Amino acid sequence: MMNRCLVFLLSLVVSVWAWAAPMPQTLNITYVKAPFNLQNIVMKTQGLLEKEFSKEGIKVNWVPIKAGLNQVRGLMAGDLDMVAAMNTSTLLIANGAGNRILIADGVAHPNDIFAIVTAKNSKIESVKDLKGKRVVGPKGTVLHHLLVAALAKEGMSASDIELISMNLPASLTALLTWHADAALLVGPGIQKAASVGHRVLTRAGGYVDTNLVMAVSERFAKAYPEVVRRVVKVNREALAWIEGNFDAALSIGAKEHGISVEQARELASWANFYSTITQADIDAMNVNQAFLLKEKMMKQSVDVESLLFR
């Protein structure tokens, strides 16, 4: 009898605490469907977050920001609360500059979805051949990290090439219109470039362990930890649904990207979706941080484990 009473009281306390937990009026979260963030696509198209927070009346505001640096700016300005998919290179660089952004959950380990693509019929056959060439792509991202790592492995640096920073659509256009010798591209951009004869010079695997994560500003995480936990729960529910309904999920992803189901299947095979951050992820981030610091892409070191939302 005593045990039953204790369980009842504990349940009551938890219920009261949950009811009394502060809730925001809106949840501002990015909609990042590229390169192929299927969990994010399913969450938005199926209204999963809206359903999760319907009782509290929290309005879910999906913000279509793709570029990592713009995501960081949005989080720091308070225009964003959470980012559905951010690469850990950008996250580390941001934290090294004093912008506290935490990792809420895992999304994907997409080594094959990030690549350096060179123009067809060019004489560029290896990373060494990039010396003196014009390369376009977004700075401060995992693609920038990939490029510098690939150059470093050949005893070169960014000063050995002409690197022009531009977003992904502009980078693809520059390559397709012969205004660049090589471009830093992801998923659908790689497929489009390949369809007209451009070639993948190298992918991220072997140079950098890529990791896309769900991120949250430390400010929002401290103010609304229960909201963050519930968003993580929905993220994992979306992944479970994808795994159990893979063909249906691919159709949804293909429609959102305006590509064929077979193209979507290829992108999914490159993505390596996951959710729970492991010690291997932490170790990889520490290795990546050491490289970013060495190459002066990151201002100061941070305690990687302190970046995990708990």
Q: Which H or E run contains 84?
A: strand 82-87
In this predicted structure, what is the pLDDT of residue 206?
84
Which has the closest alpha carbon to 95: 309, 257, 306?
306
At 95-137, the pLDDT tens digits run 999 999 999 999 999 999 999 999 888 889 999 999 999 999 9
Specify the amino acid at residue 148.
V
Tally Cβ neighbours within 10 Å of residue 18. 9
Tally Cβ neighbours within 10 Å of residue 64. 9
At 250-265, the pLDDT tens digits run 999 999 999 999 999 9
Residue spans of the domains in the chain: they are 24-109+210-299, 112-203
CATH of 24-109+210-299, one of 2.40.170.20, 1.20.1250.20, 3.40.190.10, 3.40.50.10860: 3.40.190.10
Tally Cβ neighbours within 10 Å of residue 260. 12
Cα separation of 38 and 270, whole Å? 12
Cα separation of 97 and 218, whole Å? 14
CATH number, domain 112-203: 3.40.190.10
The strand pair at 134-137 and 182-186 is best described as parallel
Give the HSE-up count for residue 19: Cα atoms under 13 Å, Cβ half-sphere: 6
Which has the closest alpha carbon to 87: 107, 57, 104, 73?
107
Specify the amino acid at residue 14.
V
DSSP-derived 3-state class of residue 116: strand
In degrees and rounded to multiples of 5, residue 107 shows phi and psi of: -130, -55
Which parts of the chain have pLDDT scores under 50? 1-3, 5-19
User: pTM (2 decimals)?
Assistant: 0.83
